Structure 1
Amino acid sequence: MSLSTIALAVFMKAIIPEGFGPSVRLTLGERKRPVPGKNDVLVKVHAASVNPKDWKLNLTLARAAPPLGRRLIPPLFGDDLAGEIVQLGAGVEGFEVGDRVYGMDMRLRTATLAEYAVIDTRRIALMPANTGFIEAAAVPLAGQTALQGLRKGQAGPGRSVLIIGASGGVGSYAVQIARQLGCHVTGVCSTRNIELVQSLGADAVIDYTAGDYRQPAPGQRRAFDLVFDVTAYETPASCGALLAPAGYFISTMGHARPALRTLLSRRRNASLLRVESWTADLQTIGEWMTAGAVRSVIDSRFTLAEAQQAYERSRSGRARGKIVIAVTPG
């Protein structure tokens, strides 16, 4: 075996972050190809998606860790993946080499901005048969956040749901999934995204640029059984006029401040959402996608070498749906 062949077997192309916080730079380089553990699989990554959590976590680490700690904590990027299994851990059952899978792992950074990634089999599922890698890679974090948030807020047939941030990554899935759960869905978005949110199945759309949607006009009542704030900017107090007496307020953790966490912990039927990836939830979403009832809204696509631009797009706050990185061309 030549030295070049050995190098190909050991190393892979990957995004190498340099620095912490807003000054982090994502450059294409090489690092060692990971090795799967007993219950893991090694996936050849075809596509990965961008989530605000990625750069927000990097900012959090930058503030929390002293300079020495920053050198010891690997600032890896990328959780979502869609790709093909190329190697099985010794204890893996239910998956085979060649399976097309999608998923993510929130316990540690999966580091999916690379040609190969290792992931626990409890965190993945077979891709929907009619879905490509780009569309599948968009699902795991955003789709499961939507599903688990709606479930936590007891969304179901006949329940009225308000989704704040309905045109974003999580929100676009939340509108569609709430419809599949039998809810009456109202989405909150800006003027330019009204048609998109309507096309996803929202029964009503509120344009937040037209006024304070949190305060109903005189004589108008908006009592929602669930207010699902996927932007994490609102609180149960700010949305109090929107909630039914026994209504739920669910917030993602993206921008949650310490005061908000305390407030949520003291209020009945209000909570922050911590998403996990589970095979069963991915399968549920996959079934809806196969049936054509749920789709991925793709804002933009980038190559692996364009990862920096992809994250700058995410930080702009202007994305409609998901930003996806094509790791393997084609």
Structure 2
Amino acid sequence: MLKTARCPDRPAAETGRRETVADLAARIARIEGRAVGRLAAPPEVPRASGGPARATVPSGEACRPFGIAEADAALGGGFPLSGLTEIHVDETRGSGSGAGFALALAVLFGAGPDRPAIWIGGAHGFAEGGMPYGPGLAAYGLDPSGLVLVRAPRLEQAIWAGEEAARSPAPALTILEARGNPKLLGLEGTRRLHLRAGRAGRPLLLLRQSGRPEATAAPLRLRIAPAPASFVPDLSPGRGEPASRLIGHPVFAVTVEKARDGRSHHFLLQWNPHDRRFQAFAEPPARRPAAAPVDGPDPARPSGAVLALRRAS
């Protein structure tokens, strides 16, 4: 929800017109049988030090809460249900983390055969980051029939498909994947995407491979990185037993780089594919360094005696 502020020098006529439009919008919403969206002043929430602070808490219709206090507070109540949101990974080799986070969001938004998620990307991006694997999607908690892939030969075609999908209320989630920071997805291009997704009332995700922060129309930008997962609790070794090589659910390191409150946040999220939800995850304790492998690279030999040779010239 957007913050509201009072302007002391606003003319009374303008205020009256705004109240008339708001009343008319409320009457239309009641006739159509849908909820009335209102802009309310954000509540007062206490700071950690005890002082008051202003915070934006969207209504249930504006965002999808994760059910994790730290993450929901950092996101302003939850993940936006409409409009454009941007996530990026620092390097192409980390695109699996961005894809995993996007697919987890598709599950949360109810992607399925009747209302699938649409993943649009260029042929070059899919070649670098890889294509989704059906059995892997099922193990991750997403029905493979609930994901529609659109592979465009050129970026211009992928953006056109993204704009067309953004204006439709049919997809549960639309994912537009791009490499880097192309000019077509600058401020003007992302503004069109954000407006069309906002009018349709559906979420649109711009997933950048090896992208860097830049000025875009997305109100929320997240940087996703992989984080160490914990060991499987049921298979934890006992005292004197060798360490288990099995790991737990995937963990994402999420950094809020751009938000409506202007503050940066960082938190960890663990994806549970069985329960199909995110879980809170604390920093694991420092682990003992792994022993050097027996068949590892041959260490460098120590240098021998140094001989002093006369220069030839």
Regarding TM over 0.5, the answer is: no
TM-score of the two chains, using structure 2 as the length reference: 0.30
Higher relative contact order (CA 8 A, sep 6+): 1
Q: Which of the pair has more CA radius of gyration?
A: 2
Structure with greater strand percent: 1
Q: What TM-score results when the alignment is normalised by the length of structure 1? A: 0.29
